[in-house]
């Protein structure tokens, strides 16, 4: 009976597993289709590129499928298919770079191989073989060494690789095969056909310009920094008490802040790749100005420096010791106005780049200077908060006494720890302050740190020590509650200082790219949201 019940249970488990698998398959397929849909929805150019690749492969396949083409080219038609697969990239600049590298590399290698074969044939069998071996060694070593040159590696590394491969195949094969030159001619013809199809599809059929991507990416980064700065200041001066668990609104604010500066800090490699591809693209604008790719890289560099300040500003929201709301509210108005003026400048810079016009002459308005002076005056009007006094000590003692009374009522053992901690702090601090904090009180150093989360008297001691470390800091440094705000305010002032470098680079971009002059009558003040998707196949090197 016991064995039968076990078998029945195992059969039931097997049936339930099969049922779950049957229900999971439709969900997995639905998720896959949803992901595929989202990829195309985020950037419709991806679908266009996929269709262009499909059409190009179909066209080169006709060399095999149609009898007249197959008789003229033969089996070498496969090289056209390989060329399309390798050369056709997402953007026009990347396709031009690879196509020209492959075409020139194959052409130069074939010409040099033909010259070496001509010399080898007229030198006899033995001397011809020695000459071919020496030529392969010298050219192979030279080309490989040249690939280490930074400029060559950045722009022509793929062409060098194709040259090396084609040269060795033709030169070595010509020593044994008499028709190798004819075969090389046919392969060169098919490769040229493949490159021609790739350039046609990339430049004339829904072209995707890397220069435009870099342009819109710069606009997006400026707007992201503006949103991050505004969200940081808004969250810092919120007049509500924070719970132990973050609310949904707090997490949303953190996402906005994080995404705004993360895009800027992670943009170096993508900016350099887009700039390199843009340098290969033809002048496709109406004014036919050369695309200033290097100036966009400079703007990206100063924006990353500005983004580091935003990261530090975001860090002020997550420090262990926070300035109380009662103190923050004293400086809320000048800080909010200063942050608003910074965001206005960033928005104006993004709109000027987006619309390809010069910045407003009044981009640094008087309101920015007034906000700076008001913040300076507000800080000077409260020197006791930053220099320490008995008056401010009342605020600190209020927080300290609240924590002490809570833990004294909760456990007598904790009260003993309090007396010991106070005695230790007084003993250690006499050389410098009236009451200082030892390093062990900050770190909560103990041989058994894992017992913090365990129930019982030991766990209570550890939790109390963590709270008392903060309380001891408050008591030892009477002005410590105002220090976090001082860091926050100094970062806002640093942002204003770094705005000058950003404005200078944007104005330099307008001069190089011949942006239109600023016209206050035709400026659209509506907020424009720009989002640029990084191509999935964007790479710096091959």
In a domain, 400, yes or no: no
Q: Give the pLDDT score at 417.
A: 35
How many angstroms separate the CA atoms of 460 and 440, rounded?
17
Statement to judge: residues 118 and 234 lie in one domain: no
Residue labelled with tokens 């016209």: 519
* pTM for the model: 0.73
Torsion of CA 102, 108, 109, 112, to 10 degrees: 180
Do 498 and 367 fall within a single domain? yes
- Asked whether the beta carbons of 78 and 61 are under 8 A apart, the reply is no
Helix axes 483-512, 366-380, angle to 10 degrees: 160
Is residue 414 in a domain? no
Q: Say whether both 216 and 352 belong to one domain.
A: yes
Alpha-carbon torsion (193, 194, 197, 199), positive or negative: negative
**CATH code (residue 230):** 1.20.58
Provide the H-helix boundaries in 362-482: 366-380, 383-387, 390-410, 412-429, 439-443, 457-476
Of 496, 528, 527, 484, nearest in space to 306 by CA:
496
Assess whether 1 and 64 both reside in one domain.
Answer: no
How much is the pLDDT for 327? 84
Tokens standing for 198?
Answer: 């790739």
CA distance 56 to 497: 52
SS3 of 359, please? Answer: coil
In the 8-state DSSP scheme, what is residue 357? B
What is the block-wise mean pLDDT of the chain (542 residues), using blocks of 10 residues? 57 68 74 84 89 92 73 74 91 92 90 85 81 90 93 91 89 70 79 90 91 92 93 82 52 77 90 91 68 92 94 87 83 90 92 90 83 87 65 44 43 38 38 36 38 48 52 52 83 91 92 83 47 44 48
Q: Is residue 246 part of a domain?
A: no
One domain, residues 506 and 365: yes
Q: Are 343 and 313 in contact (CB under 8 A)?
A: no
Same domain, yes or no: 35 and 47:
no
Angle formed by the axes of helices 157-173 and 125-146, to 10°?
170
**Would 12 be classed as within a structural domain?**
yes
Residues 6 and 33 occupy one common structural domain: yes
Does residue 7 fall inside a structural domain? yes
Structure tokens at 349: 């810079």
Residues 228, 191, single domain; the answer is no
Contact by Cβ (8 Å): 407, 414: yes
Taking the CA atoms of 221, 223, 224 and 228 in sequence, report the sign of the dihedral they define.
positive
Evaluate whether residue 432 is within a structural domain: no
**Token representation of residue 63:** 């060399």
Task: Report how many domains make up the chain.
Answer: 3
List phi, psi (to 5°) of 541: -130, 175
Residue 445 in domain: no
Structure tokens at 267: 């943009």
Measured distance CA(127)–CA(134) in Å, rounded: 10
SS3 content of the chain, % helix, strand, coil (to 5): 75, 0, 25
C-alpha distances (whole Å) from 304 to each of 39, 263, 301, 309, 425 are: 28, 10, 5, 9, 43
Alpha helix segments (H runs only) across 43-156: 45-65, 67-73, 78-87, 92-121, 125-146, 150-155
Nearest to 336 by CA among 310, 305, 374: 374
Is residue 423 a part of any domain in this protein? no
Tokens of 16: 């339930």
How buried is residue 331: exposed, middle or buried, by Cβ count under 10 Å (0-12/13-18/19+)?
buried
> Any idea what the Cα angle at residue 68 is, between residues 62 and 70, rounded to 5°?
60
Residue 297 structure tokens:
């890289």
In the prediction, which pLDDT does 29 show?
Answer: 82
**539 — phi, psi (to 5°)?**
-130, 155
Which domain does 21 fall in, by range?
Answer: 1-39
Please check whether residues 65 and 165 belong to one and the same domain: yes
Residues 78 and 32 both lie in one domain: no
Nearest to 85, CA basis, from 224, 194, 12, 175: 194
Residues 430-438: contacts with CB under 8 Å, at least 24 apart: 433/476, 433/477, 434/476, 435/472, 435/475, 435/476, 436/476, 437/469, 437/472, 437/473, 437/476
Residues 31 and 66 in one domain: no
138 shares a domain with 35: no
């Amino acid at each position: 009976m016991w064995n039968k019940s076990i078998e029945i249970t195992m059969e039931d488990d097997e049936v339930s597993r099969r049922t779950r698998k049957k229900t999971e398959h439709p969900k997995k397929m639905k998720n896959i289709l949803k992901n595929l849909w989202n990829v195309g929805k985020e950037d419709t150019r991806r679908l266009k590129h996929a269709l262009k690749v499909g059409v190009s492969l179909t066209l080169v396949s006709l060399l095999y499928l149609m009898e007249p083409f197959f008789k003229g080219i033969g089996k070498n038609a496969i090289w056209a298919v390989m060329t399309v697969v390798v050369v056709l990239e997402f953007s026009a600049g990347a396709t031009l770079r690879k196509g020209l590298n492959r075409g020139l590399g194959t052409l130069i290698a074939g010409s040099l191989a033909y010259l070496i074969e001509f010399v080898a044939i007229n030198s006899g069998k033995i001397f011809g073989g020695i000459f071919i071996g020496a030529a392969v060694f010298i050219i192979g070593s030279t080309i490989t060494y040249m690939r280490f040159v930074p400029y060559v590696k950045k722009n022509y590394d793929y062409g060098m690789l194709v040259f090396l491969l084609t040269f060795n195949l033709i030169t070595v094969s010509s020593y044994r095969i008499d028709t190798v030159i004819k075969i090389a001619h046919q392969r060169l013809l098919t490769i040229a056909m493949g490159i021609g199809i790739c350039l046609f599809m990339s430049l004339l059929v829904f072209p995707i310009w890397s220069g435009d991507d870099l342009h819109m990416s710069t606009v997006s980064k400026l707007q992201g920094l503006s949103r991050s700065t505004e969200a940081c200041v808004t969250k810092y001066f919120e007049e509500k008490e924070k719970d132990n668990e973050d609310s949904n609104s707090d997490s949303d604010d953190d996402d906005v802040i994080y995404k705004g500066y993360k895009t800027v800090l992670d943009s170096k490699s993508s900016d350099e790749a887009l700039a390199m591809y843009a340098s290969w693209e033809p002048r496709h604008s109406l004014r036919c100005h050369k695309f200033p790719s290097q100036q966009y890289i400079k703007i990206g560099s100063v924006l990353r420096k500005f983004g580091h300040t935003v990261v530090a500003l975001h860090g002020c929201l997550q420090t262990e010791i926070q300035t109380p709301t009662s103190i923050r509210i004293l400086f809320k108005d000048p800080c909010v106005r200063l942050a608003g003026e910074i965001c206005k400048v960033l928005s104006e810079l993004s709109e000027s780049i987006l619309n390809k016009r010069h910045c407003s002459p009044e981009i640094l308005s008087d309101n920015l200077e007034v906000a700076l002076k008001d913040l300076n005056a507000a800080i000077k009007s409260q020197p006791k908060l930053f220099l320490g006094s008995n008056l401010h000590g009342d605020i600190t003692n209020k927080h300290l006494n609240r924590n002490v009374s809570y833990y004294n009522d909760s456990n007598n053992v904790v009260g003993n720890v309090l007396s010991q901690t106070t005695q230790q702090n007084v003993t250690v601090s006499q050389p410098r302050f009236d009451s200082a904090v030892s390093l062990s009180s900050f770190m909560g150093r103990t041989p058994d740190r894992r017992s913090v989360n365990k129930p019982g008297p030991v766990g209570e001691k550890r939790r109390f020590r963590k709270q008392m470390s903060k309380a001891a800091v408050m008591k030892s440094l009477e002005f410590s509650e105002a220090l976090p705000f001082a860091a926050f305010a100094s970062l806002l002032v640093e942002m204003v200082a770094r705005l000058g470098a950003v404005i200078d680079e944007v104005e330099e971009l307008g001069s190089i790219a011949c942006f239109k002059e600023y016209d206050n009558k035709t400026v659209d003040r509506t907020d424009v949201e720009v989002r640029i998707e990084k191509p999935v196949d964007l790479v710096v090197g091959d």
